[in-house]
Amino acid sequence: MQGVDPAWLPDEAFRPIGTRRTLIRGSGPLVDTVHGEVAEACGRFGGSVSRDSAAAPEPGPYDLVLELTGTEGGETYTFGRGDGRTTVTASGASGLLYGLFHVVRLGEAAFHGGDRQREQHAPALALRMLDHWDNVAVHPVMGQVERGYAGGSLFWADGRARGELLGRVRAYGRLLAACGINAVAVNNVNVHEAEARLLTDRIGEVARIAGALRPYGIRTHLSVTFAAPMVLGELPTADPLDEAVRAWWAEATARVYEAIPDFGGFVVKADSEGQPGPFAYGRSHADGANMLGAALEPYGGTVHWRAFVYDHRQDWRDRRTDRARAAYDHFVPLDGQFAGNAVLQVKHGPMDFQVREPVSPLIGAMPRTRLAVEMQATQEYTGQQRHVCWLGPLWSEVLRFRPDGVPVADLADAMVAVSNVGDDPFWTGHPLAQANLYTFGRLAWQPDADPGAILDEWIRLAFGPGPSSGLHAVLDGSWRTYEKYTAPLGVGWMVQPGHHYGPSVDGYEYSPWGTYHFADRDGIGVDRSVTTGTGYAGQYSKWWAEVYESPDTCPDELLLFFHHVAYGHVLRSGKTVIQHIYDTHFEGVEEVEAAQRVWAGLADLVGPARHARVAELHEEQLRSAREWRDQINSYFLRKSGVPDAHGRRIY
């Protein structure tokens, strides 16, 4: 696509396939996609591709055989080598597509070496989804993409689904399939007036987007407003137990499936940050979700019901209310009441995608409810795609966390990320933020994969072998670097209210949002213990509840999330809290400076456009990191009166 960064699918990645002889067996739209990919590569590099849809194997001197053996929609494939031939076999067409991209990822290595036992590859999670917080119309406060840092929407322009530019949407589907993602929600969970109509009279536009994503095995989902029967149907109520309301949803859903037969389902943000929901009718969230589940059920659709429900009009003086408790308190009593096609979509932490939070105690606490774990690829609180902040290690920690013996990855039915993509030529604004999208997809496919290996895979695909160690160095530790120069020890927030970029230590301290640090002259942190605090620590299983209950056993990085401690409190690292704050803030800036130097040295290896964009953003990251360092250090020096042990400059 002209002028658009090829991301992890540059032409060169197809050279090993494109120079060889390939046989493709099977038929159907996704096999056509696979054929198209191979044919294009062969056109470019001189190889050949034959198509055989008959049942009998075609003899011939093929280097690669891609064969579909069944007609199901399965995603599994086997990969092997024998008699000098590489073979991918799948019983479902999606599996064949994923098998093709497996060969692309392996590159030359797919064709070398002796016989290779057939390996089976299957995704750990059936649903691997991106939620776009895209508005059709530009919102006066949130712009077109809420919390979007990569330009306008890929799907919507000038108040409509993109017309001739849907080629870009198809290219997006291709990138997503190549990292294993199979579902996309195309509009913001905050559903405004124009966007509400996507469900009814504007469904044709959604169908066009779905048509552009379908060739890559991506199913389309829609965020809907709970009040749709009132807003669109002119009913007097949206009560989920009202028969007319249920009938309205059933009819609306039937029309959606007429337009999009493989439609994935609805995403719903209800009773959250001003969005309507079942509370208005004295009904539970299970009642709300099940009503939509019933409408989707005849077509095999799913409702993603978000658990991000809390009081955003809290009185900051009220120390008993704790926002972190809210999701668990609301939803755990409903375990077992949700329909089989309802999936509870839970943010990975109890607050809101801060750089460091504990894993949400809701995860693992509802064994009879299907679970989607929601991550945030868009870097709302992690540098807004102006800072390098590769989130692979954060997500991997979440997925490996064992709430009660079993890892989060094994408890989840689905993984969802808020997309970080827009119509920017680099897709993600910051070219290196592509690594987050890629890593998310690959972790959703294989949650116990080593994130560092995924990073290297992305670097090799997107940049070739040249800059690999330098790029790895720039990205690998970047999440921890970001954590160092921003809010310390898990306390979170301290950002500028509203847009959430840059430091403001007290920005949210006296606000109604429930996001406080409680710093005074003696200490800082939120007491969430059972004994003396909000009781939040008690929402975990016994083992973790005990770990988090005491400052002596609580991990350092979460200390201020769980406890209010004196500045002189000695961490398990041996440092006092105040000295830790000073040291990490100085170190964080030094690490950004070091990354900037490494990047400067890669000028000849990464292409001029990418190099210039990242270099420019590095300048901003450094400016911002220094601002964070100086505001945080000065604030705490002034509050505590404790000097820095190393006498460095604090204002």
| Least CB distance to ligand GCV at residue 327 (A) | 12
Euclidean distance between CA atoms 66 and 35, whole angstroms:
9
Among 5, 195, 352, 423, binds ligand GCV (CB under 6 A): 352
485 Cα distance to chain centroid: 23
| Least CB distance to ligand GCV at residue 309 (A) | 10
**CA–CA distances in Å: residue 128 to residues 75, 180, 398:** 12, 7, 16
* Range 492-511, binding ligand GCV (CB under 6 A): none
| Least CB distance to ligand GCV at residue 133 (A) | 5
Q: Is 223 helix (H, G, I), strand (E, B) or coil?
A: strand
- Catalytic status, residue 380: yes
At position 325, the amino acid (one-letter code) is R
- Please count the other Cβ atoms lying within 10 Å of the Cβ belonging to residue 522: 12
* Range 583-602, binding ligand GCV (CB under 6 A): none
| Least CB distance to ligand GCV at residue 156 (A) | 16
In this structure, what DSSP letter does residue 644 have? P
| Least CB distance to ligand GCV at residue 345 (A) | 10
- Catalytic status, residue 457: no
373-186-212 Cα angle (round to 5): 120
Euclidean distance between CA atoms 289 and 271, whole angstroms:
12
494 Cα distance to chain centroid: 23
Nearer to ligand GCV, 45 or 279 (CB): 279
Nearer to ligand GCV, 158 or 273 (CB): 273
Euclidean distance between CA atoms 561 and 355, whole angstroms:
12
| Least CB distance to ligand GCV at residue 584 (A) | 25
Q: Is 194 helix (H, G, I), strand (E, B) or coil?
A: helix
- Which of 297, 322, 380, 583 is catalytic? The answer is 380
Question: How is 334-381 classified by DSSP, letter by letter?
Answer: GTT-S-TTEEEEEESSSSSS-SS-PPPTTTTS-TTSEEEEEEE-S-TT
Answer yes or no whether residue 360 interacts with ligand GCV by CB under 6 A: no
Beta 134-139 vs 143-145: how paired, if at all? antiparallel
Q: Are 8 and 458 in contact (CB under 8 A)?
A: yes
Nearest Cα neighbor of 224 from 216, 234, 232 is 232
- Catalytic status, residue 273: yes
* Range 270-309, binding ligand GCV (CB under 6 A): 273, 308
Euclidean distance between CA atoms 360 and 347, whole angstroms:
7
| Least CB distance to ligand GCV at residue 418 (A) | 7
At position 517, the amino acid (one-letter code) is H
Euclidean distance between CA atoms 297 and 253, whole angstroms:
10
| Least CB distance to ligand GCV at residue 308 (A) | 5
287 Cα distance to chain centroid: 28
* Range 374-433, binding ligand GCV (CB under 6 A): 380
Euclidean distance between CA atoms 257 and 221, whole angstroms:
11
At position 359, the amino acid (one-letter code) is V
- Which of 352, 423, 527, 591 is catalytic? The answer is 352
Nearer to ligand GCV, 41 or 267 (CB): 267
- Please count the other Cβ atoms lying within 10 Å of the Cβ belonging to residue 205: 20
Nearer to ligand GCV, 269 or 442 (CB): 269
* Range 214-253, binding ligand GCV (CB under 6 A): none
- Which of 273, 450, 520, 604 is catalytic? The answer is 273
Euclidean distance between CA atoms 61 and 85, whole angstroms:
9
Nearer to ligand GCV, 352 or 583 (CB): 352
* Range 133-192, binding ligand GCV (CB under 6 A): 133, 146-147, 189-190
| Least CB distance to ligand GCV at residue 273 (A) | 6
| Least CB distance to ligand GCV at residue 328 (A) | 17
* Range 34-53, binding ligand GCV (CB under 6 A): none
| Least CB distance to ligand GCV at residue 473 (A) | 31
Nearest Cα neighbor of 176 from 406, 464, 393, 377 is 377
Q: Are 343 and 128 in contact (CB under 8 A)?
A: no
| Least CB distance to ligand GCV at residue 437 (A) | 18
Nearer to ligand GCV, 223 or 481 (CB): 223
Nearer to ligand GCV, 23 or 183 (CB): 183
Strand partners, 597: none
Q: Are 22 and 38 in contact (CB under 8 A)?
A: yes
Question: How is 420-456 classified by DSSP, letter by letter?
Answer: ---SSTTSSSSGGGHHHHHHHHHHHH-TTS-HHHHHH
Nearer to ligand GCV, 205 or 352 (CB): 352
Nearer to ligand GCV, 381 or 438 (CB): 381
Question: How is 16-36 classified by DSSP, letter by letter?
Answer: HHHTSEEEEE--SHHHHHHHH
Burial class (CB in 10 A: 0-12, 13-18, 19+), 641: exposed
Encoded one letter per residue, x for contact with ligand GCV by CB under 6 A and - for no contact, window 253-272 reads ----------------x---
Handedness of CA 425, 430, 432, 433 (dihedral sign): negative
Euclidean distance between CA atoms 63 and 284, whole angstroms:
58
Question: Which runs of consecutive H residues, i.e. helices, occur in 92-165?
Answer: 93-106
For tokens 């399965």, name the residue.
Answer: 74
Q: Which residues bind ligand GCV (CB under 6 A)?
A: 133, 146-147, 189-190, 269, 273, 308, 352, 380
Looking at the annotation, which residues are catalytic? 273, 352, 380
